[in-house]
Amino acid sequence: MNQTWWKQSVVYQIYPRSFMDSNGDGIGDLQGIISKLDYIKNLGINVIWLSPVYKSPNDDNGYDISDYQDIMDEFGTMKDWEELLAKIHKRGMKLIMDLVINHSSDEHSWFVEARKSKDNPYRDYYIWRPAKDDREPTNWYSNFGGSAWEYDATTNEYYLHLFSKKQPDLNWRNPKLRQEVYEMMKWWLDKGIDGFRMDVINFISKPEILQDGEPKPGKKYASGSKFYRNGPNIHDYLQEMNHQVLSAYDVMTVGEMPGVTPELARLYTEESRKELNMVFQFEHMGLDNGPYGKWDLKRLDLLDLKLNLTKWQKALEDKGWNSLYFNNHDQPRSVSRFGNDKEYRVESAKMLATLLHMMKGTPYVYQGEEIGMTNIQFESINDYRDIEIHNFYREQKEEGIPEEKIMESIYVKGRDNSRTPMQWNSSTNAGFSTGTPWMKVNPNYTEINAEQELTKQNSIYHYYCKLIQLRKDHEIIVYGGYDLLNEDHPEIFSYKRTLRNQTLLVICNFYENEPVFKLPDSIQYKSANLLISNYERGEVSLGEQINLLPYEARVYLLFGE
């Protein structure tokens, strides 16, 4: 396997709106990020992924871009951005930008033009269709609820929007649109950035003829995802993009891909195919979804997680590459979701980090994860900011679902769980802003904040530092093979990594019981070193059996012949 810098990196994701406000307007900004670069650097981070900072009316917090080559006023100026890039580079880190090219904002000049008339030169930059049988062109629902089509009276046609109606989908069948996008990408790359995280990039290829999705009883709209996810020309577009743009730069790319399978991920990331470096897959994020999707709550079964992550580890073991994540700006906080954010918050946050960071792939840390930030529960829907949450709430209300049931889903799965302001210290507004934050801070900031984490020797933050350093010190963590151990154990997730005569043994107790880990016969070794553990215990040598404490995690490095 080729060795590359992005395989050896750990990425830190910043959601700028909620990271650090420098000017007291309640909204995080670029100067705020600059003021915290040493904090990120000290964690051992190599690459920063910046969620969108482009001009945007903020219908979806910057994922609706009205100018790809300018900075959102609330975040600062292009000069601030240039300073940010220079200061990231000065610290030996890299910067990847979010690239949102499945859709733009309806306020982008292309769309403003496109909707003027059917023969406007920009018309074909978007996807337009006439009504079918007096209703929408297809029965597809939007990922944010309601129809995926919006009627536009000026030209008496509908345009497609897989997300909000202020996010019209771009028409990738149009070569002119593709060229514009490629030029824009080059413009950023020439400014010196180090790559892109590509938003729902496997949605960009739509079939020429759009068909109805399979209707569900009692539902007005149906999923069209089988037609637009991993669509007919997706590999051609990515290869064209790689050929015309990416191949000229030493950069990293990660494609966000809902609905991607391991087989497809291999096609997207196998180096010889020249598409992307890695993808964000979602299968493990769906294991606590009930049959009706994300808002339908179900408890995660550890056996499902083991099988799923193992499937991904094995599928991309020799060809392609995995990204590793439990958190991002769209997901609830992992310590609340998979751990125990009360009695065992520290232990379970460290256990989850161990499980993820010792796997093969590039790990991603989402702001606040490194200090064990937790989910939020606002009493009133009015305190929530996310468009997806509000659309869900409204639709559920219309269907007569009781308030408590709706709020319960929002508490567990809502995206605002991860978007409350970063908790820097115990002063007003968690030190995030001197003004009124755009979204309320989590009241637990007096106990959970970065300042405390930095002072405490055994903090989650310092544990992350150690995990990240281990990856730098031990090639086996980056490049070693992976095998699941004790496959059927319902409470312990254990696996081994192997490289030459070394074995890395990773043991994670996923729950608060105290199960016994039994060393499989297949593991033979001459000496064993404990590399990291989330408990301070006197006796740590490796034996035939280990009595694990709640959420205990241990990693041993074993040497064989």
- Catalytic residue annotation: 199, 256
| Helix runs in 91-233, H state only | 109-114, 175-190, 225-228
3-state secondary structure of 199: coil
Cβ nearer to ligand NOJ, comparing 72 with 485: 72
Residue 101 as a binder of ligand NOJ (CB under 6 A): the answer is no
Q: State which of positions 376-435 bind ligand NOJ (CB under 6 A).
A: none
Identify the residue among 54, 63, 158, 321 touching ligand NOJ (CB under 6 A). Answer: 63
Which residues does residue 504 pair with via DSSP β-bridges, in sequence order? 497, 557
507 binds ligand NOJ (CB under 6 A): no
- 111 counts as binding ligand NOJ under rule CB under 6 A: no
**In this chain, which of 14, 97, 100, 478 binds ligand NOJ, going by CB under 6 A?**
100
Residues β-bridged to residue 528: 558
Tokens 């904090």 label which residue? Answer: 39
Extract the tokens encoding 345: 């918050």
Q: Could you give the 3-state DSSP secondary structure of residue 37?
A: helix
Least distance between ligand NOJ and beta carbon 329 (Å): 6
Task: Report the residue number, 330 or 369, with the smaller CB distance to ligand NOJ.
Answer: 330
If the CB atoms of residues 347 and 388 are measured against ligand NOJ, the closer one turns out to be 388
Secondary element (H or E) of residue 393: helix 387-398
Nearer to ligand NOJ, 27 or 200 (CB): 200
**Helix (H) / strand (E) containing 558:** strand 553-559
CB 199 to ligand NOJ: min, Å: 5
Tokens representing 280?
A: 């964000």
Tell me: does residue 200 bind ligand NOJ (CB under 6 A). yes
Which residue's CB is nearer to ligand NOJ, number 166 or number 360? 166
Q: How far is the CB of 63 from ligand NOJ (least distance, A)?
A: 3
Interface with ligand NOJ: number of residues (CB under 6 A) = 9
Instruction: Report, in Å, the least distance between residue 66 CB and ligand NOJ.
Output: 14
With CB atoms as reference, the residue minimizing the distance to ligand NOJ is 63
Spatial separation of the C-alpha atoms in residues 185 and 517, rounded to whole Å:
50
DSSP 442: P
Could you say which of 199, 288, 369, 453 contacts ligand NOJ (CB under 6 A)? 199
Task: List the interface residues with ligand NOJ, window 540-559 (CB under 6 A).
Answer: none
Q: Smallest gap, in angstroms, from Cβ of residue 203 to ligand NOJ? A: 9
The least CB distance from residue 60 to ligand NOJ, in Å, is 5
Closest to ligand NOJ by CB, 81 or 163: 163
Residue 551: count of CB within 10 angstroms of its CB: 26
Give the C-alpha separation, 530 to 527, whole Å.
Answer: 10
- Kindly state whether residue 330 participates in binding ligand NOJ, applying the rule CB under 6 A: yes
For the window 233-262, what string marks contact with ligand NOJ as x by the rule CB under 6 A?
-----------------------x------
Task: Restricting to residues 151-180, name those near ligand NOJ by CB under 6 A.
Answer: 163
CA 477 from chain centre, in angstroms, equals 21
Closer by beta carbon to ligand NOJ, 64 or else 453: 64
> Per-residue b/e over 42-72, b at no fewer than 16 CB within 10 Å?
ebbbbbbbbbbbbbbebbbbbbbbbebeebb
CB nearer to ligand NOJ: give 161 or 554.
Answer: 161
Q: Which one of 21, 59, 60, 341 is in contact with ligand NOJ (CB under 6 A)? A: 60
Spatial contact of 198 and 234, defined as CB atoms under 8 Å apart: no
> Least Å distance between CB 513 and ligand NOJ?
35
Q: Any residues with CB less than 8 A from the CB of 195 and at least 6 apart, and which?
A: 6, 47, 94, 96, 97, 251, 252, 253, 254, 277
Instruction: List Cβ neighbours of 53 (8 Å cut-off, separation of 6 or more).
Output: 16, 30, 62, 71, 72, 75, 81, 97
Among residues 197, 138, 203, the alpha carbon closest in space to that of 170 is found at 203
Q: How near is the Cβ of 162 to ligand NOJ at its closest, in Å? A: 8
15 touches ligand NOJ (CB under 6 A): no
Residue 370's nearest CA partner among 12, 93, 3 is: 12
Q: Which amino acid belongs to residue 401?
A: I
Structure-block tokens of residue 72: 């959102």
- Which residue is listed with tokens 């280990």? 546
Site of interaction with ligand NOJ (CB under 6 A): 60, 63, 100, 163, 199-200, 256, 329-330
